[in-house]
Structure 1
Amino acid sequence: MRSILYLLTTLAVMGLAFWAYRENYRTQAAIEEMSSIQRQIGRLREDLGVLRAEWAFLNRPERLRQLVDLNFDRLKLVPFGSDQFVDVGQIAFPTATPQTSAPGENPPVERPAGYPPRRPQESTP
C-alpha cells in the first residue's frame, strides 16, 4: 500500500513539475510579446512626434501665404476679413414642417451646438 502512495505522490509531483515547466515558458513568451509591443509603441510614438513636427512645419502661416500667392490664379483664395463672420443669431434656421407638430404646440427648431436653448414661453391668463 505504501508503494502505491509513493508512486501516486511521485506521479503528482512529476505532473505538477511538467505543468510548472509549461507555464514558465508560456509566461516568458507573453513577457517577450509584451516587450515587443512596448518597443513598437515607442517607435510609433517617435514617428508620431516626427509627423506632428512635419505638419507644424508645413502649416506655417508664411509658407501657406506663399503657396496662396503662387496659386492665386487657380485657387482665387483671399485672406479672411472681419466682415466675413456673422453672429449665429443672424442665421435663419429651417423650422419643422406643420405635419410633425401637434396642434397648439410650437414646432421644434434646430439649434447649432453652443447656441443657448430656447426658453419656454410663459402662458398669460
Structure 2
Amino acid sequence: MEAINWDIVRPSLWSGAAGMVVGAVVLSQVFGFMSPSTAHKLAAEESDQAVVAALAPGCASEFRALPDAKERLKVLAAHRDSYLAKDSFPADLIKRPGKSYIDYGLVRACTALLLKPQTAGL
C-alpha cells in the first residue's frame, strides 16, 4: 500500500472547497438561486400583501358606512401611527375572513385609505 502524498492532494482539496464557495455565491447572487424556505417566506409575504390590498377598500367603505364614522375617523386620525388605531374599527372589519385575530397590516392599509386626502373631481 502506497502512502498518500499530501503535498499534492492538499492544494486540490482547498481548491475544491474554494470552488464550492464561489459556486454557491454565483448561484445565489448572479442567477438568483434561493433556498426553498426563503422562496416560501417571500411567497407568503407577497400573498399577505395581496390579501391586505384586496380587503382594504372594503374595510374603508364599510367604515364610512358606520353611523358614528365621523367620530371614529377623528379618533383614528389622532392615533394614525399607533397600535391604538385598531380601537377605531369594529373588530370584524380588521380581521381576515376565518381568522380570530386582528390583522395590523389591514389596519394600516385601511387607515391609509381613510385618511388620504380626498381629491375633488378625480
Specify the TM-score bucket, using the shorter chain as the normaliser: 0.3 to 0.5
TM-score by length of 2: 0.34
TM-score by length of 1: 0.34
Q: Which has the larger radius of gyration?
A: 1
Greater helix proportion = 2
Which structure has more relative contact order (CA 8 Å, sep 6+)? It is 2
